[in-house]
């Protein structure tokens, strides 16, 4: 399997990854490999097309999304 070397990572970023790895009971390398594998499998165009299809079906049924800004303001003003 090929290796990858990443240089000049911000120290705070690296520390955050280390903490995340510890929370998941993994080594830093295992945590980074998991994230690279997971994100590498995502095809953004495929995802966009899937969302567009669902939105088209939703709208074809006459359904609409509420304006979340109005909803939040209503809840906040209670």
Distance CA 32, CA 29 (A): 5
* List of residues 6+ apart from 4 with CB closer than 8 A: 36
pTM of the model: 0.56
pLDDT of amino acid 1: 79
Q: What is the mean pLDDT of each run of 10 residues along the chain (78 residues)?
A: 91 96 96 92 91 92 84 88
**In whole angstroms, what is the distance from residue 34 CA to residue 57 CA?**
34
Furthest CA-CA distance within the chain:
58
Round to whole Å and give the CA distance between 34 and 40.
10
């Amino acid at each position: 399997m090929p290796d990858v070397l990443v240089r000049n990572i911000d120290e705070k970023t690296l520390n955050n990854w280390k903490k995340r790895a510890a929370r998941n009971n993994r080594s830093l390398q295992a945590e980074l490999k998991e994230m690279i594998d997971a994100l590498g499998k995502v095809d953004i165009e495929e995802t966009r097309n899937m969302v567009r299809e669902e939105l088209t079906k939703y709208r074809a049924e006459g359904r609409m999304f509420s304006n979340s800004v109005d909803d939040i303001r209503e809840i906040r003003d209670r």
